[in-house]
Structure 1
C-alpha cells in the first residue's frame, strides 16, 4: 500500500507539471472505487486551476481554486493505486479508471484493486472533510517528537508496532516504515506502547522521522504496484534492514531476522537487538 513517503513523492513529482494549470476535462471510466466517484465530477472541475498540491496523511489534495469558490480534489491510492502523467493521446489500459485532462498532459489514476478514492470537497476548509477530520498527527511535522509520542502512548497496552500504524494517532507510518523505525530505535514491536519510557520515545520519534525522510529521498518503496508519476520505481525497499528479510542475519548482531503476525500484518524484527 502506498504510504506517506510514496504519496509525498507523488506530490513532489506532480507539482512542476500541474501547479498553475487549468483542468480542461475529466474522463471517469468507472463509477466507483472504494467510494462512489462524485456524479458530474467533470462538470464541477472543468475550467478550474490547480493552485496547490498538498498532502494530508496518505491523501493528495489538489486545491482547485478553493479560495475563489472552487474546491478540493482528494485522491487516495488505496492498496494498489498510482498516478501517472501521460500524453493526451495515450490509450487507457484496463485498470486506468480516471483521467484529469490538462493542456499538455493527462493525470491518470490507475488502481487494479479499486481500493483508492477520488472525492470532491466544495469550498476552502478541506480539513473538515470526513476522511481527513479524524486523522492523527503528521510524523514529519514540528509537533511530532519524543515528548508528544510519550504522552500519546501512556496507559496504552497495545503493542507499539500496530499502534504506530493507526492513522488516528500518527498518519502514514505503514508496515515497512514502522518495522524499520523500530529496528533503528532498538525497540521490540511486541513491547506495550505504554511501557516505553520517555527517552526511548525520543529515540523512536527520531527514527520514524529519519526513516520516512530516507524513504522519500529514495523515491518511496515499490513492493507491488506503486510507481512514480513518470513511471519510475522507488528503491527504499532495497535498503531495508529487517523488512521482508526473515531468515537473514541481522546486519548489526548476526541473529536471524524473525517474522510474526500482528493485527493481520507481517512484522519483521531482530529478537536480539530489539527489546
Structure 2
C-alpha cells in the first residue's frame, strides 16, 4: 500500500492543480527515505515548471521541463506515504519529509514509515531510470490481455496470486486487488500459473482491469495511512468480496471465505467459487 489505484487517484487529483505551475522552491527535511534523497534537490527544482504528471507502476513522475534542460521528480509512496496539497502557511508535522512549493499551494509528502522514495532523473527518458527499467506491463494498458497473460506464464509453476503481485511481470497489483481479481475470475490463488487455460486467462485479465478501474473510481483503498491529495479517504475496501473477510460468507455462494499464507502475505478466497 498504496498500490496502482491509489497512486493513479493521487495523480488525477494533483494534475489539475499542478500542471503548468512554476516551482518556487522545495524543502527537504530528511536526508533519505528508502533511498538517499539527491543532495541539492531543492536547488535543481527551483524555477522549473511542472509540465505534466505521469505514472509508471507505483511511481509518480513529475515532468519538470525534461525536454528543456530539466528532468523528472520521481516519487514512490512506499507503504505509508501520501501526497497532499496544503496552504503555504501550514506547519509541517513529524512525518512530513518534503514540500514542493508553488505560488499558491504546497505539495507535501508524508511518510511515517519512510519506505517511500524521492528521486531525481536528469533529462528526457525517465523510463531508462534503473528503478523503472525492469518494471513489468501496465495492467490497464491495451497490451495487457488474456493472450499476453497466457504467454507470460508458460513454464511458471508458481501459484498465480504471487505472480500477479510480481512487479517484474505486472505492475501495481497489490494484495487487495489480486485477491479481488482472482475471485471475480473464479480462479484459486493456489492454482499454478501454467495450469490455467487460455480462456480463463482472458477472464482473469478482464477481472484485473475491472477491479483496478473500480478501485480508481472509488478513490482507492484506505486501509492504513493512505489519503487523497485533499485529505479524503478511498472506499474500495468497503466493497471487497473476499479480502480481509476470513470466515465471512462469500457474496457469490454463501460459503465461508478462507485465508491462507502465500509468500508471507495473507490470501483470501472462496473454495467453492475459485478453482
Q: Specify the TM-score bucket, using the shorter chain as the normaliser.
A: over 0.9
SS in 1 for 2:21: coil
User: TM-score, normalization: structure 2?
Assistant: 1.00
Q: Where does residue 81 of structure 1 map in the other structure? A: 81
Q: Where does residue 45 of structure 1 map in the other structure? A: 45
Could you say what the CA RMSD is over the residues aligned between the two structures, in angstroms?
0.3
Q: Where does residue 192 of structure 1 map in the other structure? A: 192
Q: Where does residue 67 of structure 1 map in the other structure? A: 67
> Structure 1 residue 213 and structure 2 residue 213: aligned?
yes
Looking at structure 1, the residues matched to 127 and 230 of structure 2 have their Cα atoms a distance apart, in angstroms, of: 29
Gaps of 5+ in 2: none
SS in 1 for 2:119: strand
Looking at structure 1, the residues matched to 86 and 3 of structure 2 have their Cα atoms a distance apart, in angstroms, of: 23
Q: Where does residue 123 of structure 1 map in the other structure? A: 123
Q: Where does residue 234 of structure 1 map in the other structure? A: 234
SS in 1 for 2:72: strand
Looking at structure 2, the residues matched to 44 and 27 of structure 1 have their Cα atoms a distance apart, in angstroms, of: 12
- Which residues in structure 2 correspond to 1:1-275 (within 5 Å)? 1-275=1-275
Gaps of 5+ in 1: none
| CA deviation after TM superposition for structure 1 residue 252, in Å | 1.0
| CA deviation after TM superposition for structure 1 residue 6, in Å | 0.1
Looking at structure 2, the residues matched to 252 and 55 of structure 1 have their Cα atoms a distance apart, in angstroms, of: 34
Q: 4+ runs of 1 displaced by more than 2 Å?
A: none
Looking at structure 2, the residues matched to 26 and 45 of structure 1 have their Cα atoms a distance apart, in angstroms, of: 7
SS in 2 for 1:244: coil
| CA deviation after TM superposition for structure 1 residue 39, in Å | 0.1
SS in 2 for 1:241: coil
Report the number of matched residues: 275
Looking at structure 2, the residues matched to 190 and 206 of structure 1 have their Cα atoms a distance apart, in angstroms, of: 19
User: TM-score, normalization: structure 1?
Assistant: 1.00
> In the TM superposition, what whole-angstrom CA distance separates every residue of 1:221-274 from its partner, at most 9, and x where no partner exists?
000000000000000000000000001011111110010110111000001100
SS in 2 for 1:204: helix
Looking at structure 2, the residues matched to 251 and 237 of structure 1 have their Cα atoms a distance apart, in angstroms, of: 15
Looking at structure 2, the residues matched to 9 and 101 of structure 1 have their Cα atoms a distance apart, in angstroms, of: 21
SS in 1 for 2:22: coil
SS in 2 for 1:269: strand
SS in 2 for 1:44: helix
Looking at structure 2, the residues matched to 54 and 169 of structure 1 have their Cα atoms a distance apart, in angstroms, of: 20
Looking at structure 2, the residues matched to 197 and 104 of structure 1 have their Cα atoms a distance apart, in angstroms, of: 54
